[in-house]
Amino acid sequence: MLRISTALLQRLLAAALLPAGPALAQTIPNRAPTPPPAYTISAEVDTVRGWQRGGAGTLNFSQVSLRNWAPGGQSSLSLLGTGNAYMHYRGPEHTLDLAGNLVYGVLKAGKGRLRKNDDRLELNGRYARQFTSVWSYAAQLNLKTQLTPTRAVDNPDSLLSRFFAPAYVLASLGMEYKPGPGFSLLLSPATGKFTVVGDQGLADAGAFGVRGARRTADGRLLAGTGQQLRSEIGAYLNARYRRPVATNITFTSRLELFSNYFHNPQNVDVNWENLIDFKVNKFLSASVTTLLVYDDDIPVPVDRNDDGVPDSSGRRIQFKETLGIGLNYKF
């Protein structure tokens, strides 16, 4: 009789079962299947469909009180409120954006009366139809105006501006380039720019670039003959940029350029707004805003002898800077 040792028998069994080991393992019942690798979506791809809504409001307050203060100075009280709201719709190929922004501020210096130091209202609508991953056909309608009348500090009876005097309306058709969520560029070779001066007295004076009232042979103004609507056709560029620069700090910039095809096209209208937003916590925030404006058709008061009183007018770069610290609420 042939005798086989126990060790040799174990080696033969192991060799016979080794190739079938994986197959047998796959047929073992009640074993959980190996999960497939997870599929992740890049954070830069906008996959949200349908409507999105939101907005925010801030209220900034500052106060200085002086009494028997040797170095001198003036007590002051200021209040600045801002608000914005938006609605955004995204479909497979279409996007629609509706937005509104409001800024209003008041200031009281010393024993002077309360007066406003900021007043802006802007409404914007944009429709785009995407035809490549980064390019879209786009149409935009933009309105800029203010809410309440503005009067000269040294002459409260004089009116400088009011609601829809002026109002600036831009209607644009073109193409939009948007490589990612932080940058967009609208190029419009066909844009209508309309300046509305709803107050006839300001229109007669030729304010904000409209044609003033006609004059009689002896030089007197003919009241009611001033132009209340000025139309321009030209090219328009709108660039928007948004980027987080640090934890809870965001930088936003918007540049608008317009050139009139038929009147001094080399003199480009500029509107450039920058915002640095600091989020302290859920309810406290701070912001620094700058606004640079140049319009060759709008003369501004100029103090040529530096005595503090404007003595003429001319074309100048307009600049505004605002620092605000206060309450913030988002919805």
Report pLDDT digits (tens) over 302-312: 877 777 667 77
Encoded amino acid at 205, one letter: A
> How confident is the model at residue 69, as a pLDDT?
78
CA angle 108, 208, 306 (to 5 degrees): 55
Both tokens of residue 300? 């501004």
Element (DSSP H or E) covering residue 243: strand 229-246
Angstrom distance (rounded) from CA 235 to CA 173: 10
**Contact present, 259 and 269 (Cβ < 8 Å):** yes
8-state DSSP, 224: T
User: Do you know the residue count of the chain?
Assistant: 331
* Residue of 287, 180, 190, 176 whose CA lies nearest to 236: 190
> How confident is the model at residue 243, as a pLDDT?
94
Both tokens of residue 217? 């042979």
The predicted model gives 314-327 an average pLDDT of 87
DSSP string across 16-75: HHTTTHHHHHHT-TTPPPPPPPPP---TTS----EEEEEEEEEEEEEEE--SS-TT----
Angstrom distance (rounded) from CA 76 to CA 60: 14
State which of 56-60, 182-186, 298-302 shows the largest mean pLDDT: 182-186
> How confident is the model at residue 65, as a pLDDT?
81
Question: Which residues have CB under 8 Å from 242's CB, separation 6+?
Answer: 181, 182, 183, 250, 251, 252, 253
The domain limits of the chain are 48-65+75-330
Element (DSSP H or E) covering residue 329: strand 318-330
Angstrom distance (rounded) from CA 252 to CA 239: 11
**Contact present, 87 and 123 (Cβ < 8 Å):** no
Give the model's confidence band at 74: pLDDT under 50 very low, under 70 low, under 90 confident, else very high. Answer: confident
Question: What whole-number percentage of the chain has pLDDT above 70?
Answer: 84
Report pLDDT digits (tens) over 21-51: 444 344 434 443 444 443 333 333 345 678 9
DSSP string across 210-221: -----B-TTS-B
**Contact present, 74 and 110 (Cβ < 8 Å):** yes
**Residue 12: what are its φ and ψ, rounded to 5°?**
-65, -40
Report pLDDT digits (tens) over 281-300: 888 888 899 999 999 888 88
Give the model's confidence band at 185: pLDDT under 50 very low, under 70 low, under 90 confident, else very high. Answer: very high
**Contact present, 186 and 174 (Cβ < 8 Å):** yes
CB atoms within 10 A of CB 225: 14
Question: Which residues have CB under 8 Å from 216's CB, separation 6+?
Answer: 222
Give the model's confidence band at 64: pLDDT under 50 very low, under 70 low, under 90 confident, else very high. Answer: confident
209 Rama sector, left if φ>0, alpha if ψ -120 to 50, beta otherwise? left
Both tokens of residue 249? 């700090």
Residue range 48-65+75-330 in CATH 2.40.160? no
Angstrom distance (rounded) from CA 44 to CA 23: 43
Report pLDDT digits (tens) over 111-143: 888 889 899 999 999 999 999 999 999 999 999
Report pLDDT digits (tens) over 205-259: 999 999 999 988 888 889 999 999 999 999 999 999 999 999 899 999 999 999 9
